[in-house]
Structures are given as structure tokens and as C-alpha cells.
A and B are shown apart, each in its own frame.
Chain A
Amino acid sequence: MSLLLRRLKKSFREPDGNPLPIINIDHFELKQAEQVALVGSSGGGKTTLLHLISGIHTPDSGEVIIDQVNLAGLGEPARDRFRAMKIGYIFQTFNLLPAFTALENVLLGMSFSGQKSNRAHAIDLLDEVGLKHRLSHKPSKLSVGEQQRVAIARALANKPKLLLADEPTASIDSRNQNNVLRMIRDVCKEHHVTLLLVTHSEEVARQFDRVETLSDFNKPEELLATASK
């Protein structure tokens, strides 16, 4: 799986109706099974970029090519299906569903891909993140670190080819931070999953071979300049 962003542009509208350019990327590429840390200042468009890559947002123009499929050219149902099957997403705030147990949260990740839920695989994943003894616990009964591990297992439930992680260690203490980060990197390596991890932490970024700063390749201000000409 490779990720290629080409001439990707995204703007939002400000309350006064003026456009607010957020993303303007001419070219950005990830190779298969590559692990990249993406750093950038707060409000710099990191989360918007992840939403564009995952198909939650659609770009104003440009291409998001994942495994030779231009996600930006697909309709919403196809993008949803693609996301369910090919992309894993880890949120900063874990976003586990409180009514579901750890195991059910992982199974839920499988439910929307159109494939049959594989209970054994879900249990294996939770075992892999060290939570086999917590299968039937609801998120409220899990520690913060455990919750994030459930979120990691859920993101991998459909055997994705691309894992997007949005500040996955920001909400956990420093001791658990390294464990969680190592876990994400290890499982991605083991499953040959391409990893794009957004962080504002230099300490986290340092652990990656490739670190990209968003502002180096994202030039929204150029859009403003073009618009004002």
C-alpha cells in the first residue's frame, strides 16, 4: 500500500463567507509499510489532512491515491466502504463506544466493512495489545492506556493497509506513551501496515526514521495569495 497526495487543496468558509485555505499540498508520498511521523503546529491542518486521507473530508481539488485508487474521486458510500476495509484510524481521545465491551468495540470495527465479524481475530488482536484478560470490560472500566490499546486493536480489526494515528499518545501519561507508541509501530511492522502518525511531540517524532513537518509541504497561504491576485 502506498499513499500519494497530488495537488491536494482544501478550504473551509469563515463565518464572514471568506475562504480559509487549510490544505495545499502539491505532492506527498508514503511507501508501503513505511512509518512516518507528521509534526506541525496546532491548527496547522494535521487533522484535516488525516480526514482527507481517510475520506471523511473530500478535497476541493486534487487526488488522494491509496493503493492506486483515487479516494477523492469516489462517492461517499464507496469512500466509507474503502475506509472500513483499508484504513485504520486511531484518535487522540480513543473514541471507544461506551456501551460496548473491549471485544465488542473491536468487533464493531469489523462490522461496517461488509465482511463477517471474526471474533477469533478480534481476540487475537486484543491479546496482541495485552488485553486478553479485559475482553468483556467496558471502556469505563479500563485505564486510559488500556483504552488506547483497545483503540489500536480496533483500528487493526479489518487488517488495514494504512493506519492513521492522530496524536495517539497525547492523552496518556509518559510511561504509557512509549509503550503505546511501541505497540503501534510493532503491530504495523508485523502486519506490513503503512503508518502515518500525527504528533506535536518531538520525543515521539524522534523515534521515527522519517519525520515530516506539515508546513514544509503544505502551503495554504499560497492559495490565499492566488485568491487575492
Chain B
Amino acid sequence: MKTLSRRTVLRGVVGGMGVSIALPWLEAMTDRTKRARGDGSAFPKRFGMWFFGNGVLPEQWLPAQEGAGWQPSPLLMPLAAMREHLTLVTGTRVATLNTVPHGSGPAGLLTGDSLAGNEFNNGSSFRGATIDQRIAASIGGETRFRSIETAVQTAQYSLAHVAANQRVPCEADPRALFNRLFGDGFRAPGEMTMPDPRLGLRRSVLDAVSSQSRALSSRVSAEDRRRLDQHYTSLRALESQLARLESNPPNLASCRRPDAPPETIADLMGRPDMRLRSRLMSELKAMALGCDITRVFFHMYSQPVNNTLFQGAPAGHHQLTHDELGDQPQVAAIIRIILEDFAGFLQALSRIPEGDETLLDHTMVLCTTDCSYGRTHSLDEYPLIFAGGRSHGLRRGTHLRARGENICKVSLSILQLMGLRASEFGVGPGRVTEPLSGLSV
């Protein structure tokens, strides 16, 4: 008796047409359900800040055309290929006080308030939580990490604030980020877990430590209590991270453990290899979002006032923004390098399929910097580039001219697009009660 080969059976199943099935099984399944995950639920909405220091050159930044027909300006050329995924917002201004160069801008955009203290690079705090952390507080409980904070330029702290004086550290070492996200605590979809009694014990320890935190809280001032509350929250979040290890990982077709980055990244002739560092960080962050390890990030490509020595530049970045004359071609070259790396991150997101869309469609990214014109620290014509965010309802592929509008309208829009029930944003001159018109579809 003639036996049927498996291949023949398959051919029979698809009607004898001789097609071979190229798609992995999970991909085929999600294809049927279009914009849903393997378990039928919708793909989550993500949000992230992509930040670089030292401002831009506003005249070379602003495109000549508004609306859907906009063409990239000289500075924005590195993003030309991603044009359909972008929403360029120009013309907004920071309405809160501009007292601290490189600090007042981000404070106004991210908290709607002015900055405390008078010298940003020596560490002065925002007066409240930044929008990314408000979003993380709202949706971060769904994932292993409420948010992740990363950097390309070596630095200790991000601009993200959980509250006044509670700045969030950032990870600038790709290998350390890999270990945190994809090391012991990570399981790819389908990976089995061996029951480990240590997990339960670690949770008991965290529970005991949380109780100690509460006991200490009962003896301290209101100010210190807020600090302990933050630690307590982190302890509880770590407990739930461990609990999550005992359940099944999310069923995400595109999630896999990425390759481990190198242990160290050498400088190139005494200059940091920003391109390589950025690429490694982008790949890790994209997969962290694709694996639903987190839904919120704050990425510090470089710090405010950073004096990074870019490849080919005759002086540090910050020094050039102030000392270079005329149209500042050296500064322009640095901004283009930065935006090339930003485009690289967007491409990493768009390479991860989610249903019949990509991770980029389900991630809203805001790329911005610490002032408008680096040379004068002005805060009019603030540079803002949204990317992705199709599932959020962002109007994409357009240049939205919002001349003179309070930048806090943008912040409020972000909160609302992320599903937070916010009806106002900002303090004093920063306060707004409506989002930026035209930003959402």
C-alpha cells in the first residue's frame, strides 16, 4: 500500500494547489485575526520618549510645506524614508519660565511646570512627575517593568521623574540592559518554567522588607514618607515581577531572546562609538516592547549640555552649539547623525511584525530635545517629532504647524492618546485644558 508523505497531505489540505506554507504557525494564526494577538486580545499601546541634548537649528529644521505634502527640511533628511510614519509638530512654545538653559524646556514639556534650582547640569529637579512616568503609573502594572530608561551617551540619570527629586536612573550599558531584560527573569513565548522554590522565598523577603518600609514610614516626615513610598512601590513591583515568572509568558509571535551585546564597547580613537551603542540599544528596546516586557520607555540619546565628541567633529557638541558661527554646519552634521540613529530605532520597531501591522504602528514615540535653538536656549518653535502611533489615533504623515501654541497641549494630547483620563495639564502659565487640535485623527 502506498503511504502518503506529509507534504502530500499538506497539499491536499490546501486544495492540491501545490503551495508551500511559508509562514510560521503563530504568524498564520494572528494573520487571521488581523490586529489581535495570539490569544485574541488587541496589541498593547506603547509610549516612549526619545531625547537628545543641546537643541537644534530652528531655521534649518522647519520644512517649507505644511500638512500631508511636507518635504523634509535639510536637517530632517535622515528621516525621509520614515516620512509616512511621522507627525512633525512645529511652532509650539514652552510657556513656563525659561530660567535654566537646557532644563526649563524639558521641564515645561514633561511636567508642565518650571524647574526647581538654577543649574541643570549639576542636578536640579523637576517639580513633579514626567508624562512618561504618569503613563507608567497608569499602565505599567500590566508588564514586568513599569518602564525602562536607557541611554546612549554614558550617563547615570534620565530626565524621567517619578516625582519631585525622584529622578529615574538610566542604563547606558547595552550588556547590562540585556541582562536585566532578557537574563534570568525572561522567558520567551513557549519556554517552560521549572518550579523554583526560591522565587517564593524571594517574594517573602520582599514582603518582609515592604513591612519594614511601612514601619519606617510611620516615624518620618511627610517629605521622607514620599521617598519611602517610592521605594515601597518598587519593592511591590519587584514582587509582582517574580510572581509573573511563575505564570506563562505573553503569547507574542515575534518575541524572541535577542543576541547578547558585547561586554564592552570600545571608543573609536578616544571618541564614543555612538552609532554602535545606539544600534544595540535600539534592538534591545524594540524587542523589549515586542515581548511586552514593558510598554513605556525614556531614551536619553544624549544628555542636556552634553559635550560628546562625535566622530569627525572638531569640538564637543555643546561647545559647538555656542561657539560655531554662522549656520553652524558642524552642529547641523551632529543633528543629522542623531536623527539617523533615531531613524534606526524606528526601523527596528518596524521590523517587528504584530498582526498585519508592525510594532511601530502600536508604539507612539516622541523625539525631542532640551531647547529650540541651542545657541540661545530659546523655547519658541520647540522641535517635536512624533513617530508611529497608528493604533493610538495619531494623525500621521503630516506636518502640523501649531504656531504659538502652548506645548502643554502636546503633553495633554499624549496622556489622552495613551488612554489616561486627564482633562488638564500644567501649572500656572503652563496650564492647558485642551489637547493640541489636529494631532489625533
A binds B: no
* A contacts, CB < 8 Å to B: none
* B contacts, CB < 8 Å to A: none
